[in-house]
Structure 1
Amino acid sequence: MTERRRSALIGPVLVLATLVASIISSFGAPLIPTVARDFHESLSTAQWSLTVALLVGAASSPVLGRLGDGPRRRVTLLGGLAVVTAGGVIAALAGGLGMLVVGRGLQGVGLGLAPLAMATARDELPQAKVAPMMALLSVSAGAGLGAGYPISGLLAEAWGLAGAYWFGTIVSGLALIGVAAVLPSRAGHGAPNPLDWVGAVLLAPVLVTTLVAVAEGTQWGWGSPAIISLLAAGVALFAVWAVQQLRTENPLVQLRLLRHPSVLSADACAMVLGVAMYMVLSGVTEFVQSPRSGGFGFSASAVVAGTVLIPLSFFMLISSRTLPALVTRIGIRAVLTLGCLVAALGCGFFAVFHSALWQAFVMTGVLGVGLGTTFAAIPGLIVQSIPARETGSALGFYQVVRFTGFSLGSALTATILAAHASGNGQPTVGGYTTALWISAGTCVLAAALAWFLPARSTRLTPTERVPQGRGKAVV
């Protein structure tokens, strides 16, 4: 393969790897009823086939990001995709829920590959292509989560649970081959950054205790001793981890980067929008499957419920392509604010108009436009304000923040629906509309954060910038 052709394929291969890893990692939600039936487990227990992927994705993102800063990036990407592929094999062959959870956990590593792909684009692509490609990769990670719902539902209906996971194994294997064939080695490009193993070990229990409490709060009771203990432990462990990160010479995550207004506003928006996105993903798929006999819903199948999210993924990808023109015309802060408000409009629309199935498609399409614009803008906002050597670490932390928002959104929806249940324990239409209005409100909050937290560039010293002679990337 010629050098020119290899260079031309780097962008598409990175998008493929990001999409594949994200889609596979989101296979859990639509398959939960099938998992519960096939393995004779309750729905709440089967939910761990999704929760474990989010947990591992959140924990692995900063580790993979730090490992991938420097000459080890190609090896780290290949290793991550190999783990995802192995996880697919284990999940497909699982004879019980325990083995399935192990396989799904390995597949969750794929959620940590997006920062590596964005850091690779920054270093390997021509300067003019860096910003658009990073925007596309960020949106691909989010769009893949939405696309995983209909894809996994269709696959499970056609080939069963094992067939869905075998499909994931095949496509992740293809992405692995593509990266191996196209991505150049960075051996000799500087010394590798040392990995903060202490920080990595401390971060894992922080995420596990906090996200397990969030995931199980509705089931166990938010006031139960177990949930209170988990949340308290999460806060205490986070304080210990934060102090360790601030004191170590080469931390897993440079928390001091949050002093940059642009980094702070970007991460804050990412978390709030993550909450809103997963509130909608969780709520709308359940709403459309609700029986019409209850006075609302459309008695739709799981496959139809999954297709409702196709406009979300489609318009997230399409709207991201408009980012360069929008930023040139109105500026990055206005783009972020406008995108958040468009997302709020979509949520508010379905809260008011939900008597026909087409209105659900309209809502997810409008939400896709808003989220596509914002998720495309956030990585560029972070990258323009940090040293090049911190790209993987900073974007890894951005992924942690976003996944935390996803988990909070899912748990918040479950709590709202449980609080508005009817006498037979089923959610009422008031529960769904309340969740939608809260989702719209969180998008408005994100807009306020984007506008009032000044998103300005931070000047970097010449030694912090990527050498311009390489013509590869800018800060």
Structure 2
Amino acid sequence: MPRKSTTLTFTVLATGAGVFSMLQSLIAPALPTVQDAMHTSQSTVTWVMTAYLLSASVFTPILGRVGDLIGKKRTLVAVMLALTLGCLLAALAPSIGVLIIARVIQGIGGALFPLSFGIIRDEFPGERVGPSISNLSAVIAAGGGVGIVAAGPIVSALDYRWLFWLPVIVVGITALIAFRYVPESPSRADGRVNWLGAVLLSGWLVALLLPLSQAGRWGWTSGRALGLFAAAVVLFALWLAAEARSRNPLIDLRIMRLRAVWATNTAGLLFGAGMFSIWSFLPGFVQTPSGAGFGFGASVTGAGLLMLPMLIAMFLSGVLAGRLEPVVGAKHLLTAGAALGAVACGTLAAWHDRQWQVAFAAGVFGLGIGLAFASMATLIVRSVPAEQTGAATGMNANVRTIGGSIGAAVSSVLVTSRLQPSGLPYASGYTHAFGLLAVLCLAAALAALLVPVRRAAACHGAGHVPTAPAESEAVTSGARG
């Protein structure tokens, strides 16, 4: 089959991944509107976010591995169609129950991230792999920012259902183009899907993320929360044992033990805690009435505009990372990105009395997000065999999600532990939360320093990205268990 245009392929991948990333944050500012329209409670409407988070965490690594086995293009088209169906169902949802089911279906789209990175590695010329991964990472990062900025104007001008109608149109057309023009990757992994590993992976992820997202309502010491945390530990241990003994592991644990992989994932866990917490709490901070002693009483649209510097900065720095990586190295870009996140959070903790201060800090954090996202994907892709790209990048995305859930949960405790008589938080709660996030981002920078420097090696063939010799030997040596 003749190779299609890599520019068209990249456009398709960027559109699908960008829309999914946007859906992660697009609905959050509109939750009060959805609650009123659906005549439901606040505790119930939060499941619109929770269901999406849990679904994406399960499907991202599993379908990434399926793509490695049966073909990334085939899986990509199926995932895009599922995302389109989920958005269509959400746009037409007559009740909150149907909307939550629709969000579960939309979560399947999380697999677009690992599948897209794998297609780039397989199909693009070697010299274009790094810049293309950086550019795609920039689009993914910016997608979350677009969701925060665009939600207010869309709901004000149209209706909250258009938050889903627009993705139906865009992703539906993109799926048709992908089916027609994206080539099927020739690189396939041997074996089959390890369904026991998939079930155990799904089990411990849900058991971990569900109490993290709901502990604020259940209570951290409630029976449900403690029981699920205990179940997560047991299921995680069983999953490790099952994967180690399987001839066809869902996630090759030897890959996860590579220093470049575990150090990058550690940095991703810590940086994800800072990033998702900023996305979750900074809009609420600026929307707080100034009578509370902080905040600016901004509308949803106004809060989105204050986040605009972050959106612009993360896209520009993500694109720039692809040009800098051959000179500076992905390790140093990840370190710099995490350090910028620490500077931004420290700035917010110390100075947040003026809107320009918040906008400046948001822009600095955006620079960090762009550099970190681009470099994390590059480090993972260049450190694992081609047939493990989907599973490895899927797990990296999951690690960031887990970090984000932990960071958001802990930040929520700090912000809401003491409330004013009006029910609003004190400024000190946000100050402590921003300070904690600065520490987490600094720890991410230190973890990034543990990533080994990749040895220079010539690339042979389109899309071939070699691993460092020492790590490659660790991957390929030894019989499978």
Q: Mark yes or no: TM-score above 0.5.
A: yes
- Offset of residue 225 of structure 1: 1.4
Decide whether the 8 Å contact of 2:189 with 2:388 is kept in 1. Answer: no
Decide whether the 8 Å contact of 2:133 with 2:322 is kept in 1. Answer: no
Change (3 A) 1:328 1:124: closer
Q: Does 1:22 find its partner at 2:21?
A: yes
- AA in 2 matched with 1:148: G
Identity %: 34
Decide whether the 8 Å contact of 2:264 with 2:451 is kept in 1. Answer: no
- Offset of residue 401 of structure 1: 0.6
Q: Does 1:456 find its partner at 2:453?
A: yes
- AA in 2 matched with 1:383: V
Matched position secondary structure for 2:383:
coil
Decide whether the 8 Å contact of 1:88 with 1:107 is kept in 2. Answer: yes
Taking structure 2 as the reference length, the TM-score comes to 0.92
Q: Does 1:319 find its partner at 2:310?
A: no
1:278 matched residue in structure 2: 276
2:330 matched residue in structure 1: 332
- Offset of residue 285 of structure 1: 0.6
Decide whether the 8 Å contact of 2:321 with 2:370 is kept in 1. Answer: no
Change (3 A) 1:161 1:327: closer
Decide whether the 8 Å contact of 1:25 with 1:104 is kept in 2. Answer: no
Q: Which whole-Å CA distance do the structure 2 matches of 1:29 and 1:133 have between them? A: 29
Decide whether the 8 Å contact of 1:343 with 1:443 is kept in 2. Answer: yes
- Offset of residue 36 of structure 1: 1.2
Change (3 A) 1:191 1:404: closer
- Offset of residue 413 of structure 1: 2.1
2:463 matched residue in structure 1: 472
1:364 matched residue in structure 2: 362
Matched position secondary structure for 1:307:
helix
Of 406, 422, 433, the match for 2:431? 433
Decide whether the 8 Å contact of 1:282 with 1:413 is kept in 2. Answer: no
- AA in 2 matched with 1:455: P
2:443 matched residue in structure 1: 445
Matched position secondary structure for 2:403:
helix
Q: Which whole-Å CA distance do the structure 2 matches of 1:323 and 1:276 have between them? A: 20
Decide whether the 8 Å contact of 2:68 with 2:188 is kept in 1. Answer: no
Q: Which whole-Å CA distance do the structure 2 matches of 1:377 and 1:95 have between them? A: 42
Superposed structure 1 runs of 4+ greater than 6 Å apart: none
Deviation by residue 1:367-394 (Cα, 9 ceiling, x = unmatched): 0101111111111112222111111111
How many residues align? The count is 466
The answer to which of 303-312 and 206-215 deviates more is 303-312
Q: Which whole-Å CA distance do the structure 2 matches of 1:395 and 1:436 have between them? A: 28
1:23-422 to structure 2, matched below 5 A, reads: 23-186=22-185, 193-422=191-420
- AA in 2 matched with 1:9: L
Q: Which whole-Å CA distance do the structure 2 matches of 1:16 and 1:289 have between them? A: 30
- Offset of residue 94 of structure 1: 0.9
Decide whether the 8 Å contact of 1:210 with 1:230 is kept in 2. Answer: yes
Change (3 A) 1:190 1:93: closer
Change (3 A) 1:345 1:378: same
Q: Which whole-Å CA distance do the structure 2 matches of 1:119 and 1:411 have between them? A: 32
Q: Which whole-Å CA distance do the structure 1 matches of 2:130 and 2:464 have between them? A: 9
Q: Which whole-Å CA distance do the structure 2 matches of 1:148 and 1:75 have between them? A: 28
Decide whether the 8 Å contact of 2:132 with 2:322 is kept in 1. Answer: no
- Offset of residue 231 of structure 1: 0.7
- Offset of residue 3 of structure 1: 5.8
- Offset of residue 193 of structure 1: 4.4
Change (3 A) 1:191 1:362: closer
Q: Which whole-Å CA distance do the structure 2 matches of 1:315 and 1:431 have between them? A: 27
- Offset of residue 269 of structure 1: 0.7
- Offset of residue 4 of structure 1: 7.1
Q: Which whole-Å CA distance do the structure 2 matches of 1:310 and 1:179 have between them? A: 30
Deviation by residue 1:100-148 (Cα, 9 ceiling, x = unmatched): 0011111122222111000000011111110111122223223212221
- Offset of residue 328 of structure 1: 3.9
Change (3 A) 1:352 1:240: same
Deviation by residue 1:400-421 (Cα, 9 ceiling, x = unmatched): 1111112222222221111132
- Where does the alignment leave 5 or more consecutive residues of structure 1 unmatched? none
Deviation by residue 1:413-468 (Cα, 9 ceiling, x = unmatched): 221111132233321111111111111110100011111x24233899xxxx99x3
- Offset of residue 325 of structure 1: 4.5
- Offset of residue 71 of structure 1: 4.9
Q: Which whole-Å CA distance do the structure 2 matches of 1:311 and 1:371 have between them? A: 12
- AA in 1 matched with 2:220: W
Matched position secondary structure for 1:161:
coil
- AA in 1 matched with 2:420: S
The answer to which of 170-179 and 235-244 deviates more is 170-179
- AA in 2 matched with 1:457: R
- Where does the alignment leave 5 or more consecutive residues of structure 2 unmatched? 467-481
Decide whether the 8 Å contact of 2:338 with 2:368 is kept in 1. Answer: yes
Q: Which whole-Å CA distance do the structure 2 matches of 1:310 and 1:194 have between them? A: 44
- Offset of residue 326 of structure 1: 3.4
- Offset of residue 37 of structure 1: 1.0
Deviation by residue 1:42-72 (Cα, 9 ceiling, x = unmatched): 2232111111111111111111111111552
- Offset of residue 87 of structure 1: 0.5
Deviation by residue 1:272-327 (Cα, 9 ceiling, x = unmatched): 11100111111111011101111211111112212322222221121122224433
Decide whether the 8 Å contact of 2:79 with 2:108 is kept in 1. Answer: yes
Matched position secondary structure for 2:161:
helix
- AA in 1 matched with 2:151: S
2:8 matched residue in structure 1: 9
Q: Which whole-Å CA distance do the structure 2 matches of 1:310 and 1:97 have between them? A: 31
- AA in 1 matched with 2:453: R
- Offset of residue 5 of structure 1: 6.2
- AA in 2 matched with 1:273: F
- AA in 1 matched with 2:146: A
Q: Which whole-Å CA distance do the structure 2 matches of 1:343 and 1:400 have between them? A: 20
- Offset of residue 174 of structure 1: 2.3
- AA in 2 matched with 1:175: T
Q: Which whole-Å CA distance do the structure 2 matches of 1:35 and 1:104 have between them? A: 13
- CA RMSD in angstroms, aligned pairs only: 2.1
